Amino acid sequence: MSVYRRGEVWWYKFRFSGQVIRESADTNSKVVAQKGERNRRRELEEGLNGIRRQRAQLFSLASQEWLDLKRSVLSPRSVQIEEANLKHLGPHFNGKLIGDIDAADISRYQQHRLSEGAAAKTINLEVGTVRAILRRNRLWANVQPDVHMLNVRDDVGRAISQDEETRLLAECAASRSRSLYPAVTVALATGMRYSEIRLLRWKQIDLEKHTLTVGDSKTEAGAGRPIPLNDRARMVLDMWASHFPNREPEHYVFPTEKCGAAGDNFKPHVYATDPTEPIGDWKEAWEAAKERAKVACRFHDLRHTACTRMLEGGVPFSVVATIMGWSPSTAVRMARRYGHIGQAAQREAVKHLNGADSATGGAQNWAQFQANRFVASTNSLKDLAPRPGLEPGTLRLTAECSTIELPRSGNPGRHTPWN
């Protein structure tokens, strides 16, 4: 038995089932702390012997076991995401036994992450990792009813305008990061994701055939997809390749490098370029360029922009889905999310539904014929009271001395054939 003080509060520490249990007794009384330690040890012993339905295991160990099992079935990218989730979860849950985690703990975690500025979608993914770990240990069912995922907007993202694009590209070209302009251009011209561009290698680009092959991607459908290069993308990549005359197929298109200032005029100078390592990120340069251009958007909005322009240009969903790397099952949903299809494109779409007689004015001729033929009795339309010779609930319409008696809803009526 071991109790000790931290400031005014007593803690206890002991080893149980190969694990070190270190917890606060939340008291300034040593006697109470000793009793708390005995009670805690009893709880663990009961859980270990099946008296209580609880695995006496720390979250840190349970999460590591779960991740080790998942490594064989998850993609490398998914493993990275789960590892990142656990880094955020660790400070809040690692010291807890998985059987002690309840909905209140998860709610507090959600509020803490929101206060840090994390997106609701990101927090939900992290809570999903907690759910998977607890589910594996048959503990999630007890927590689930009181856990509420955060609301996530599905319409986040926008397509930038041509004017915004012009201003943004001008500032990217003026950036100290010489790779920012070609990276942004490739994003606008191909709709590729940030990571797909950052990890691009020269072996994936064929400038002679004007094609680019995506490497690892977020989705299985996106990995290895070919994308044709338009004139703008080919010209920019061709120019960018001239900076690397000794490039190898395995080298990264956007390598890690440092930028400084040289000479009396502080002209930007690039050094320490390592083509075997990809650039870490464009965050600082990207944010600065956006601020100077006065354009509020995310890098991912460049992908939104590419998709929107293709869809509004009349490109079929199936073709857009192939270029964007969507799976067939999610193509329509993703097109709605990323497409922001405007009214102009919808008007163009329904033009294809014009009938064979549209060229000869068939619908217009019919409308004019009906307008000339039918003369509705104003009194009959406004006043539906019974008239002599009419059953209750009918309207009298006249057309060239012929009549038809129409029943009101639910009432049978007489129909006089047309002459």
Q: DSSP states of 323-370 as a string? A: HHT--GGGHHHHHHHHH---HHHHHHHHGGG--TTTTTTHHHHHHHHH
Q: Do 172 and 268 belong together in one domain?
A: yes
Residue 28 lies in a domain: yes
Domain boundary among 117, 146, 175: 146
Nearest 5°: phi and psi at 212?
-135, 135
Residue 219 lies in a domain: yes
Q: Do 221 and 127 belong together in one domain?
A: no
Percent of the chain at pLDDT > 90 equals 44
Residue 269 lies in a domain: yes
Q: Do 188 and 327 belong together in one domain?
A: yes
Q: Do 116 and 255 belong together in one domain?
A: no
Q: Do 209 and 89 belong together in one domain?
A: no
Rounded-to-integer distance, Cα 313 and Cα 307, Å: 10
Which tokens hold the place of 61? 């160990």
- CATH number, domain with residue 330: 1.10.443.10
Domain boundary among 313, 348, 383: 348
> DSSP string spanning 95-150?
TSBGGG--HHHHHHHHHHHHHTT--HHHHHHHHHHHHHHHHHTT-HHHHGGG--PP
Q: Do 234 and 120 belong together in one domain?
A: no
Rounded-to-integer distance, Cα 49 and Cα 303, Å: 55
Task: Note the Cα 379 to chain centre separation in Å.
Answer: 59
* Whole-number pLDDT of residue 2: 82
Residue 354 lies in a domain: no
Rounded-to-integer distance, Cα 165 and Cα 169, Å: 6
Residue 131 neighbours by CB under 8 Å, 6+ apart? 140, 144, 147
Residue 54 lies in a domain: no
Residue 293 lies in a domain: yes
* Whole-number pLDDT of residue 132: 94
Q: Do 138 and 284 belong together in one domain?
A: no
Residue 154 lies in a domain: no
Q: Do 291 and 389 belong together in one domain?
A: no
Q: Do 193 and 245 belong together in one domain?
A: yes
* Whole-number pLDDT of residue 399: 44
**Mean pLDDT confidence for 171-196:** 94
Please give the tally of structural domains in the chain.
Answer: 4
* Whole-number pLDDT of residue 313: 84
| Range with top average pLDDT, 5-9, 70-74, 206-210, 368-372 | 206-210
Residue, of 231 and 353, whose pLDDT is higher = 231
pLDDT, tens digit, for every residue of 114-157? Answer: 999 998 989 999 999 999 999 998 889 889 999 999 987 665 67
**Mean pLDDT confidence for 221-228:** 90
Q: Give residue for tokens 């004007």.
A: 210
Q: Do 383 and 260 belong together in one domain?
A: no
Helix (H, G, I), strand (E, B) or coil at 123: helix
Residue 18 lies in a domain: yes
- CATH number, domain with residue 108: 1.10.150
Q: Is 192 left (phi over 0), alpha (psi -120 to 50) or beta?
A: beta
Q: Edge-to-edge strand order for the sheet containing 394-399?
A: 375-376, 394-399, 402-407
* Whole-number pLDDT of residue 16: 76
Residue 105's pLDDT band, with cuts at 50, 70 and 90, is very high
Q: Do 249 and 388 belong together in one domain?
A: no
Rounded-to-integer distance, Cα 165 and Cα 159, Å: 10
Domain that holds residue 137: 59-146
Residue 398's pLDDT band, with cuts at 50, 70 and 90, is very low
* Whole-number pLDDT of residue 312: 83
For residue 9, which amino acid is it?
V
Q: Do 270 and 375 belong together in one domain?
A: no
* Whole-number pLDDT of residue 257: 92
